[in-house]
Structure 1
Amino acid sequence: MQRKKNIRLIIVLTVLIAVTIITYFIQGNDGNSSIDKTLFVYENTNEVDQVTIESQGVKVDLSFGNNQWTVNEKYKADPQRISVLFAILKQVSVRRKVAKSQKEQITERFATQGVTVSLFEQGQKVKQFQVLGEEAKGLSYMAHAESDEKYLVEIPGYKSYLAGLFELDANGWRNPLVFDINWANLVSVQAD
């Protein structure tokens, strides 16, 4: 009696293994292992002299001239934010494609809320991509304008909301430094 039960269990186990293997090969692994992790990386950031960030009709133009970055050719840009921007561009990594169940929803959000980022070298566009984020979940997505694929991105080992930097308005990119003096030498301040 026990022998018959063991034989049935071995047959059920064999069938389950066969079904699992067949399902794996039929469904595939969605090509996640063949995704280029560096799809959005731009290594040559030292040559970039202009970055435009457009969202819902609002454009922020970051340009380099006279040894400094400026915002919309009016204000000095925050050098720390510029450094973070270029660090993201050098280190961003594709985690995976957007899940099939989310693809339609994410595509619609890209069309309405997506931020288009363009990098220029000497007036020539060298890279363009779109960014979208879910701040509550800390997720950031990127896509190339000419591609239908959307990707979940990250910086490996760094847990932060990457899309937040691209969602800044012109004031967010401005240098917050008001006075560049040694506060210990300040004697008085008078404002009118």
Structure 2
Amino acid sequence: MKDKKIRIVLFILIIIAGIYYFSNSKGSLSLRNSSFAIDSPEDITKIVISVKDKDLILEKESDHWKVNNKYMATQKNIENLLLALSRIDVLSPVSKIEKEQVASILRADGVAIEVFKNNRSLKNYFVSKPEMNNEKTYMMMLKSSEPFIVQIPSFKGLVARFFIVDENYWRNKTVFDYLPQNIKEIEVNYPEYPSKSFRAMNYNDGTFAIQKLSDNSYLGDFNVDKLARYFTYFQRIVFDDVVRDLNQSTIDSVLHSNPFCIITVEDIKGSINKISVYRKPSQNKFDEFGQKANFDYDRAYASFNDNKDLIIIQYYIFDPLFKEIDYFR
């Protein structure tokens, strides 16, 4: 009788141990499959965002980030993404009824995210596209079939909207951003009007010089205050957007045409930035005064540092830079 009781107790203990083991294993597996957040976002050195036909690579280089190894990234957008990666939280598992369908959609049409520390992969998972559900974001680990609904605490928008594959969203739109004392030389060239073109030098000892581009002679008498002030205009100068509504043939035609103005800035370290500006045809035949509009008076086309991308600039931002040599007399 006593042996029978002992066997019963042992049997019960084995069952309890089995339940604990399997439930704990399942819990650990579930935890691994839902651990989307990065504990130390400062360790992240590369983020790859991929859809079927396109990869976007954000990579850290010393104190800045680059987009597809071509452009400087907008720091604020990077900071927002890193913060999101560190705060992703599981709201709930996907219901059993929807689980298989959601997992299938994520594998076939989700956004693949891989996060690296140096060359080591930290996380690799799928994120739903915003159009999949405008109220929920689904995520699933790459090697899992268990999707989850996720959130970012205190953030009311879709988590999915942080994972954008368009490089123009991440691209820094800065053209010029210099403190005046960091500029060595500014060249403003009007190819069709050489007599209006000039080169301005800042010797950083309180003295300046202006050189005519037409014959390389120096202007003997000029307004020093105007020239000193001109060097302060090259801060927070940005372009508006990348041209998206023209075919490549038209873009190439613009880039091979004669620019209206070319502005080149060299800093005290010898680094050079250059923008070539092209007149943009007006969509309206007449301006607000009823006069014939020869070109768009609000926007122009441009290329930056001889890049093949055609960008759009706004005159109200760039107008202070479009000075002619006579302005300084």
User: Shorter-normalised TM-score: what interval?
Assistant: 0.7 to 0.9
Contact 2:50/2:165 (CA < 8 Å) preserved in 1? Answer: no
Report what 1:4 is aligned to. none
Q: Distance in 2 between matches of 1:187 and 1:59?
A: 37
Tell which has more relative contact order, 1 or 2 (C-alpha 8 A, sep 6+). 1
Contact 1:35/1:96 (CA < 8 Å) preserved in 2? Answer: no
Q: What is the CA-CA distance between 1:162 and the residue it aligns to?
A: 1.2
Q: Which of residues 38, 41, 58 in structure 1 aligns to 2:54?
A: 58
Q: Identify the range of structure 1 (35-44 vs 140-149) with the bigger mean alpha-carbon deviation.
A: 35-44
Report what 2:159 is aligned to. 162
Q: Distance in 2 between matches of 1:122 and 1:134?
A: 29
Contact 1:141/1:151 (CA < 8 Å) preserved in 2? Answer: yes
Q: Distance in 2 between matches of 1:171 and 1:163?
A: 18
| Unaligned stretches of 5+ residues in structure 2 | 1-25, 178-234, 238-317, 324-329
Report what 2:171 is aligned to. 174
Bigger CA radius of gyration = 2
Q: What is the CA-CA distance between 1:35 and the residue it aligns to?
A: 6.2
| Count of residues paired in the alignment | 158
**Is residue 2:213 matched to residue 1:81?**
no
Q: What is the CA-CA distance between 1:182 and the residue it aligns to?
A: 5.6
Q: After TM superposition, what 4+ stretches of structure 1 lie above 3 angstroms from structure 2?
A: 34-38, 133-136, 176-179
**Is residue 2:99 matched to residue 1:103?**
yes
Q: What is the CA-CA distance between 1:154 and the residue it aligns to?
A: 0.2
One-letter code of the match for 2:96? K
One-letter code of the match for 1:125? S
One-letter code of the match for 1:173? W
Contact 2:103/2:140 (CA < 8 Å) preserved in 1? Answer: no
Q: Distance in 2 between matches of 1:182 and 1:123?
A: 35
Q: What is the CA-CA distance between 1:98 and the residue it aligns to?
A: 0.9
Q: CA RMSD in A?
A: 2.7
One-letter code of the match for 1:172? Y
String of CA shifts for 1:76-107, please: whole Å, max 9, x gaps. Answer: 11111111111111111100011122223212
Normalised to the residue count of structure 2, the TM-score between the two structures is: 0.44
Q: What is the CA-CA distance between 1:117 and the residue it aligns to?
A: 0.9
Normalised to the residue count of structure 1, the TM-score between the two structures is: 0.72
| Unaligned stretches of 5+ residues in structure 1 | 1-30
Contact 1:133/1:139 (CA < 8 Å) preserved in 2? Answer: no
Q: What is the CA-CA distance between 1:36 and the residue it aligns to?
A: 4.5
Q: Distance in 2 between matches of 1:42 and 1:130?
A: 15
Report what 1:10 is aligned to. none
Q: What is the CA-CA distance between 1:133 and the residue it aligns to?
A: 3.6
**SS of residue paired to 1:188:** helix
Report what 2:321 is aligned to. 189
String of CA shifts for 1:42-76, please: whole Å, max 9, x gaps. Answer: 11111111111111131001111132100011001
One-letter code of the match for 2:320? S
Classify 1:65/1:142 alpha carbon distance in 2 versus 1 (closer, same or farther; 3 Å). same
Q: Percent identity?
A: 27
Q: Distance in 2 between matches of 1:40 and 1:169?
A: 23
Q: What is the CA-CA distance between 1:40 and the residue it aligns to?
A: 0.8
Q: Distance in 1 between matches of 2:62 and 2:38?
A: 24
Q: Which of residues 121, 137, 140 in structure 1 aligns to 2:137?
A: 140
Q: Which of residues 129, 136, 142 in structure 1 aligns to 2:125?
A: 129
